[in-house]
Homo-oligomer: A and B are copies of this chain.
C-alpha cells in the first residue's frame, strides 16, 4: 500500500515534519512518502494563497497516479483542492481538516479549533459546515502566529494550550482540533496538559486513508468525482491539460 502525503505549501521543512508525523502512525506494509509541490506559496494564509497552492497540489496528485499511489493526504488545514484532487485520483483523498473534524466527532460531543491567523477562521468554519453535523464545531480560535513561525518557537505550545483552555471553557467543548499541519508536533503534549483529546489532522488523515485502502473503498467515480473531461488548456497552465 502506497500513501502519499502532499504538503500544499512549498516549505520543505514543513513537509519533513508532516512526513515524520504521518510515518509514525502507519502500519507495517505501508509505503508512505511526503512531497512538496514544484510551485506555489511558502505558506497558506489567505484565499489567494490557497487558490495558488492548488495547481502544485494537482500536479503532485497527477504524478501520484502515474506512480501508482493508492491514496493521498492533503496536508494543509484549509483542505485546498480536495474536490479537484478527487477527480484525478482513483483511490481516496483526505484533507487534514476533514480527518481531524471526523475524528473529533467520534470521541466527543463538540470540538473547538485552534488555528493560526484570525483571517483563516472563516475558512475553518466553512469546512466544519461541510464535514461536520450542525453544532459539532463550537468555535474557532486564532493564536495569531503565522504558519512559518510555528516551527522552532518554544512559546508556541504554551500559547496554543492556553488558547485551547479558553476555548474549552467558553464553548463547553470536549475536544480540541489543531488547525494547522505545522502544529502536529504539539499534539501529544497538548493532550497531556489539557486532559481532553487533541486531534492532529495529519496523523488522523493518514490513518483514515490507510483504513479506506484496506477496506478497498475508493473515491466514487459516479458523477461529480469522475475524471474531468479533456479540453484545451492555454498559457502557463498548458502542462495541466489532461
Chain A residues proximal to chain B, CB less than 8 Å? 10, 25, 27-28, 37-43, 45-52, 54-56, 58, 81, 83-84, 86-88, 92, 94, 98, 102-103, 105-109, 117-119, 121-123, 125, 129-135, 146, 148, 168, 172, 174-175, 188, 191, 195-197, 199, 203-204, 207-208, 210-212, 214-226, 228-229, 231-238, 240, 242
Contact = CB atoms under 8 A, between A and B. Distances in A.
Given A39-B236, A102-B106, A211 B207 contact: yes
Contacts of A216: 188, 191
A221 B191 CA distance: 12
Given A37-B235, A132-B133, A109 B210 contact: no
Contacts of A233: 10, 39-42, 52
B218 A45 contact: no
B121 A172 contact: yes
A54 B56 contact: no
A168 B222 contact: yes
15 contacts: A10-B235, A37-B235, A42-B231, A42-B233, A49-B228, A54-B54, A55-B237, A102-B102, A109-B223, A125-B135, A133-B134, A188-B216, A204-B211, A207-B214, A210-B211
